[in-house]
Amino acid sequence: METVCSAKEPAPKERRAAQDSSETPAVPAICTIQPSLFMSCSTGLQTPHLIIQMADPGKPLEPVTEIRTGQFFGRIKPTKLTIQGPVFPSDLGLILALDLATVQHLEIKGYQEPEFDLSLLPSNLTSLNSIVLSDNELRRLRPSRHCDPSTPFAQQQQQQQQHSGACSFSLGPSIQALDISNNLVTDLSADVLGLFPNLLTLHWSVNQLHHLDQHVLGAVPKLRTLDVSVNRLTTVSDRPFEPLRSLRHLNLENNAIKQLHATTFARLTQLEVLNLERNAIASIDAAAFQALTNLRRLHLASNRISHLPTRLFASLTQLLRLDLRRNDIHRVAHTDFEHMRALSFLSVTRNKIAFLPDGVFAPLRNLTELYISNNDIADVTAQTLAGLSTLKTLFMIGNRIADLAPNLLAGLPMLAHFNARDNHISAVPTRLFVQSPRMETIVLSGNRLEGIGFDVPLTELRVLDLDSNPL
């Protein structure tokens, strides 16, 4: 056993697993286009990732018939292509005229125009299914462009013109993912989204979006993931998502949404993840989540919620994670969680809760993590925690708890992590952990303990933190 600094409550979002250090990452092939329009490549080995960059950035390439490639370029059969700018529209025409039939994922960085014409992407990209245009300061996407017939790109597109003097975008039906995040786009028209009838993923985060339109989103009815986080949305009251019957993941984080109406999420019966963190939500209609019968994760942290309407979560019988941190909730009632038997994670940390009714968490038969930290709670009893026989983690940091009842943890045989630091606890009952044989972490730092002892050997204990006590 070791004594260490106290643990912090983990963030509720899953992190990506760290890459196995034993794996050697694939080195991309890097090809550089010289001012002479000759392209030299760093490797001739087959690689899934090709990066094309400019040797003389800052101005467009000279207009020529084609880019001359070295002997090694033909050996590269990439599935991912990154074009690193500064890059101009005419440059794209020359680069994408190369033999890139194996490319499935295209990323363009450093585009030098505020508008991007989708018609710049030619039909020879026959394997393309993913387009990334993030981080380019784009203000608008356009479906087609008028082109100068003297340019090589326009000559290549002559047979595909749908209108006199216009180049067209024909790859739309094969595209499944579109990323335009971190730009300055205020809206996408139905004319643009309508070019992607089979789109499954749309990343539209970190832009200047002010509203969502049902008619526009109806152009991509197969969408499964929609990310419109970090925009300027203030309301979502006009059923904007109703056409998206296949939607699984919806991210509305970090906007300025103030209210959730009864019809905000109408018809989203397949939705599994809903992220509403970091908004200004103060009012929620009791029927706001009624249609979300398949929801697994609901993130409502960092809003202005002061109370939970009766039966707000009644339809969320499949919910696994509920995050209510950093709100203004004053009380929780027996009825708030009565239908959430699948829930495994609940956090009400950093609210204004002063009292927890007996059995308030009893319906949560599969709960494994409970966080009630940084509230104004003075008393927690065995009855408060009744029914939580599967609980493994209990955090109640930073409250006003002075006494721990000897039977407080009696109904928690699976408990392994107990954190009650920064309270007013002056004594720990010697039999507190008698029925918690799996205890691995005990954190009681920042209290008023003058001594401590246990009547039971804690054979699994790995961490005991008693720092900042008058021991």
What's the CA gap between 264 and 257, in Å, rounded?
11
What's the CA gap between 463 and 415, in Å, rounded?
14
Task: Return the pLDDT at 346.
Answer: 98
Task: Return the pLDDT at 112.
Answer: 92
- pTM for the model stands at 0.89
Contact between 281 and 259 under an 8 Å Cβ cutoff? The reply is yes
Instruction: Enumerate the β-bridge partners of residue 449.
Output: none
Quote the radius of gyration of the chain (alpha carbons, Å): 29
Contacts of 334 (CB under 8 A, 6+ apart): 357, 359, 360, 362
Contact between 291 and 314 under an 8 Å Cβ cutoff? The reply is no
What's the CA gap between 370 and 4, in Å, rounded?
22
Return the residue matching tokens 């209990």: 394
What's the CA gap between 206 and 231, in Å, rounded?
6
What's the CA gap between 444 and 7, in Å, rounded?
11
Distance (Å) of CA 190 to CA 139, 171, 193, 208? 16, 17, 5, 17
Phi, psi of 2 (to 5 degrees): -130, 155
Task: Return the pLDDT at 59.
Answer: 79
The CA-based dihedral angle spanning residues 430, 433, 439, 440, taken in that order and rounded to the nearest 10 degrees: -20
Return the residue matching tokens 């999420």: 265
Return the residue matching tokens 């013109």: 161
Task: Return the pLDDT at 25.
Answer: 58
Contact between 310 and 288 under an 8 Å Cβ cutoff? The reply is no
What's the CA gap between 150 and 49, in Å, rounded?
32
Structure tokens at 353: 């809760």
Return the residue matching tokens 């094309």: 52
Spatial CA neighbour of 446 closest among 2, 1, 7: 7
Spans of the chain, pLDDT less than 70: 1-26, 43-47, 57, 64-66, 70-72, 74, 145-167
Contact between 73 and 45 under an 8 Å Cβ cutoff? The reply is no
Amino acid symbol at 400: R
What's the CA gap between 418 and 420, in Å, rounded?
7
pLDDT digit string, tens, across residues 125-184 = 999 999 999 999 999 999 876 544 444 433 444 444 433 334 678 999 999 999 999 999
Task: Return the pLDDT at 461.
Answer: 95
Spatial CA neighbour of 207 closest among 144, 135, 277: 135
Task: Return the pLDDT at 8.
Answer: 59
